[in-house]
Protein backbone atom coordinates (compact mmCIF):
# COMPACT_ATOMS: atom_id res chain seq x y z
CA UNK A 1 0.00 0.00 0.00
CA UNK A 2 1.19 3.53 -0.77
CA UNK A 3 0.54 6.01 2.06
CA UNK A 4 1.35 9.60 3.01
CA UNK A 5 3.45 10.46 6.04
CA UNK A 6 3.10 14.01 7.36
CA UNK A 7 5.67 16.05 9.16
CA UNK A 8 6.36 19.67 10.07
CA UNK A 9 8.86 21.72 12.01
CA UNK A 10 9.72 25.34 12.58
CA UNK A 11 12.91 27.37 12.59
CA UNK A 12 13.73 30.50 14.58
CA UNK A 13 15.06 32.50 11.62
CA UNK A 14 15.44 32.50 7.83
CA UNK A 15 18.86 30.83 7.84
CA UNK A 16 19.94 28.07 5.44
CA UNK A 17 21.92 26.13 8.05
CA UNK A 18 19.02 26.12 10.51
CA UNK A 19 16.49 25.19 7.79
CA UNK A 20 18.71 22.25 6.76
CA UNK A 21 19.37 21.14 10.35
CA UNK A 22 15.73 21.18 11.44
CA UNK A 23 14.47 19.63 8.20
CA UNK A 24 16.99 16.79 8.45
CA UNK A 25 16.00 16.15 12.07
CA UNK A 26 12.34 15.98 10.96
CA UNK A 27 12.87 13.67 7.97
CA UNK A 28 15.17 11.32 9.89
CA UNK A 29 12.57 10.96 12.63
CA UNK A 30 9.76 10.43 10.11
CA UNK A 31 11.56 7.53 8.41
CA UNK A 32 12.85 6.01 11.64
CA UNK A 33 9.57 5.90 13.56
CA UNK A 34 7.71 4.54 10.53
CA UNK A 35 10.48 2.12 9.48
CA UNK A 36 10.70 3.53 5.94
CA UNK A 37 13.52 2.52 3.60
CA UNK A 38 14.59 5.01 0.89
CA UNK A 39 13.84 2.42 -1.83
CA UNK A 40 10.18 2.38 -0.66
CA UNK A 41 9.72 6.16 -1.05
CA UNK A 42 7.71 7.28 -4.07
CA UNK A 43 8.39 11.01 -3.61
CA UNK A 44 8.67 13.75 -1.01
CA UNK A 45 7.11 17.22 -1.13
CA UNK A 46 8.55 20.00 1.03
CA UNK A 47 6.78 23.31 1.58
CA UNK A 48 7.90 26.43 3.39
CA UNK A 49 6.04 29.46 4.64
CA UNK A 50 6.46 32.74 2.81
CA UNK A 51 9.23 34.16 4.99
CA UNK A 52 11.59 31.19 4.42
CA UNK A 53 13.73 31.55 1.31
CA UNK A 54 17.32 31.09 2.54
CA UNK A 55 17.55 27.51 1.31
CA UNK A 56 15.77 24.54 -0.23
CA UNK A 57 14.72 22.07 2.49
CA UNK A 58 14.64 19.26 -0.11
CA UNK A 59 18.42 19.63 -0.36
CA UNK A 60 18.55 17.60 2.87
CA UNK A 61 17.48 14.49 0.94
CA UNK A 62 20.59 14.71 -1.24
CA UNK A 63 22.74 14.41 1.90
CA UNK A 64 21.02 11.27 3.19
CA UNK A 65 22.34 7.81 2.45
CA UNK A 66 20.28 5.93 -0.14
CA UNK A 67 18.21 8.97 -1.19
CA UNK A 68 20.00 9.72 -4.49
CA UNK A 69 17.07 8.62 -6.65
CA UNK A 70 14.19 9.77 -4.40
CA UNK A 71 12.21 12.49 -6.25
CA UNK A 72 11.86 15.61 -4.11
CA UNK A 73 10.28 19.01 -4.68
CA UNK A 74 10.05 22.29 -2.78
CA UNK A 75 7.17 24.75 -2.91
CA UNK A 76 5.67 27.68 -1.04
CA UNK A 77 2.89 27.09 1.45
CA UNK A 78 -0.32 29.09 1.02
CA UNK A 79 0.14 32.44 2.80
CA UNK A 80 -2.85 32.34 5.15
CA UNK A 81 -3.12 35.25 7.62
CA UNK A 82 -2.20 34.34 11.21
CA UNK A 83 -0.84 30.91 10.25
CA UNK A 84 2.26 29.36 11.83
CA UNK A 85 5.39 31.22 10.68
CA UNK A 86 8.83 29.89 9.71
CA UNK A 87 7.37 26.43 9.12
CA UNK A 88 8.70 23.61 6.95
CA UNK A 89 6.15 20.93 6.08
CA UNK A 90 6.85 17.52 4.57
CA UNK A 91 4.59 15.05 2.78
CA UNK A 92 6.49 11.81 2.26
CA UNK A 93 4.76 9.18 0.12
CA UNK A 94 5.99 5.61 0.52
CA UNK A 95 5.13 1.94 0.29
CA UNK A 96 4.23 0.53 3.69
CA UNK A 97 2.39 -2.27 5.42
CA UNK A 98 1.15 0.16 8.09
CA UNK A 99 -2.56 0.81 8.36
CA UNK A 100 -3.67 4.45 8.12
CA UNK A 101 -4.15 4.72 11.90
CA UNK A 102 -0.73 3.15 12.58
CA UNK A 103 1.26 5.84 10.78
CA UNK A 104 3.20 8.15 13.07
CA UNK A 105 3.11 11.72 11.78
CA UNK A 106 5.93 13.85 13.19
CA UNK A 107 5.59 17.45 14.35
CA UNK A 108 8.59 19.18 15.95
CA UNK A 109 9.25 22.54 17.61
CA UNK A 110 6.32 24.98 17.30
CA UNK A 111 4.74 22.78 14.61
CA UNK A 112 3.23 20.63 17.37
CA UNK A 113 0.47 23.28 17.37
CA UNK A 114 -0.61 22.26 13.86
CA UNK A 115 -2.11 18.86 14.68
CA UNK A 116 -2.13 18.19 18.42
CA UNK A 117 -4.50 15.30 17.73
CA UNK A 118 -1.74 13.49 15.81
CA UNK A 119 1.07 14.02 18.30
CA UNK A 120 2.31 10.72 19.66
CA UNK A 121 2.03 10.56 23.43
CA UNK A 122 4.89 9.28 25.60
CA UNK A 123 4.64 5.48 25.95
CA UNK A 124 2.44 4.93 22.86
Give the residue extent of every domain in the chain.
Answer: 2-118
Residue 117 neighbours by CB distance under 10 Å: 6
* Contact in structure between 54 and 88 (CB atoms under 8 Å): no
Q: What is the pLDDT along the chain (124 residues), one digit of tens a residue?
A: 999 999 999 999 999 999 999 999 999 999 999 999 999 999 999 999 999 999 999 999 989 999 999 999 999 999 999 999 999 999 999 999 999 999 999 999 989 888 877 766 444 5
- Output the pTM of the full model: 0.91
Contacts of 66 (CB under 8 A, 6+ apart): 37, 38, 39
Binding residues: 6, 89
Binding residues for prephenate: 6, 89
**CATH code of the domain occupying 2-118:** 3.30.1330.40
Amino acid sequence: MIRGFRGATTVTKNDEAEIMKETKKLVVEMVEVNNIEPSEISHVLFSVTDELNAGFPAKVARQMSGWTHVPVMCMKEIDVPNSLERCVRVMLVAKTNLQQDEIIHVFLNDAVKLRPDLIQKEGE
